[in-house]
Amino acid sequence: MIIRIGQRDISAVAPLTEALGRPISDQEGLTDHTVVAHWGNLDVYTSFDEGQVWTTAEFAEHLDDPSWCHPDAVSPHGDRRTIWHADVRLHPHDRELTGPEWSEIAHRIARTAGIQRPGDDQGCRWIAVQAQPGRLHLLANLIRPDGTWTAQPHRLLALLAAESRRIETELDLISPLTGGPDPDSAARFARRATPLADVADATTQLAELLGQLADENTGPLSTVRGLVEHAAHRLGRLPHAQARGSAHQLELIASRLHGIQQDLDATVAALPTAPAAPARPTLPPYRAAAAPVRPGARLAR
């Protein structure tokens, strides 16, 4: 499980659009199957139990309201980017989680991030949206009802990473630190690489070994490359020039890893007695995604 923190935004429209994977609408409603968790006072405004369903546009406006009600509230850095957004992604091979499990993850992340505190009935507005397979988005307006700015803990990324590891252990999820081949794979690789009297059998087994190392879906090189690309993506979103430079270096490393995978595939194809392997699709080297275009201004009810 990987948690990414996006840059804060002045409106909830763009983050909610990303969470849904489609533009917000004043026609599409969101139920508790999609909004799997939320701040405690949301029921004051609407109750899912009574069958009332808010549209996606109304949820965006609900999150934006504190920014309009407290126009003088600013962050400790003096800006008005009030919307905090975190993106949770499970490993592609993780099992499908239930609604209560997604809700548990959302509340634990919200507590770790400081947007929900036990016993605080005047906390900031936040919702958790589970609208895409294996993904969860948390959106919060950091302005509290009294107009003060929500204080989030220092070293937030490290705290979220530690909480992710605990959640993975308790819910039996795959960690990106161990999400490559299973623990028995090294032993299987060693057995396959044992010298044999039959040269044809030996080269065939070596071809299998090298092919699995370079495999785009489950190979260890692919796992390492994915982690490097993820780190580059996170650094690339930081405003500091030094961070962007480090992100570029990581992109180059990811590109070299991709080149190694291709070289291994070419070596397998060149083995004299190795059977022709079916073509495998490969991903291009990592390129930082362009910033999303923010949809318009605050929507009217």
* pLDDT of res. 295: 43
* pLDDT of res. 52: 63
* pLDDT of res. 175: 83
Distances (CA, A) of 212 to 151, 186, 196, 215, 266: 47, 11, 20, 5, 13
pLDDT, tens only, 30-88: 777 889 988 876 765 655 445 567 889 999 999 999 999 999 999 988 899 999 999 99
* pLDDT of res. 273: 55
| Residue 256 structure tokens | 């070299």
* pLDDT of res. 53: 77
Cα distance from N-terminal residue to C-terminal residue, the chain? 37
pLDDT at 3 over 70: yes
* pLDDT of res. 182: 43
Is residue 142 a contact partner of residue 15, using CB atoms and an 8 Å limit? no
* pLDDT of res. 290: 41
Residue 47, C-beta contacts closer than 8 angstroms, at least 6 positions apart: none
CB atoms within 10 A of CB 178: 12
Any idea which of 105-119, 148-162, 247-261 has the lowest mean pLDDT? 247-261
* pLDDT of res. 296: 43
Compare 227 and 179 and report the one with higher pLDDT: 227
* pLDDT of res. 83: 96
pTM: 0.58
pLDDT at 139 over 80: yes
Ranges 10-14, 41-45, 75-79, 119-123, most confident: 10-14
* pLDDT of res. 177: 66
* pLDDT of res. 238: 79
Average pLDDT estimate for 161-180: 84
Closest Cα to residue 250, out of 264, 239, 236, 238?
A: 236
CB atoms within 10 A of CB 266: 10
* pLDDT of res. 84: 96
Q: For a pLDDT cut of 70, what percent of the chain falls above it? A: 76
* pLDDT of res. 50: 52
Mean pLDDT value across the chain: 78
* pLDDT of res. 5: 92
pLDDT, tens only, 188-233: 444 444 444 455 566 777 777 787 777 766 677 777 877 887 787 7
Average pLDDT estimate for 119-146: 91
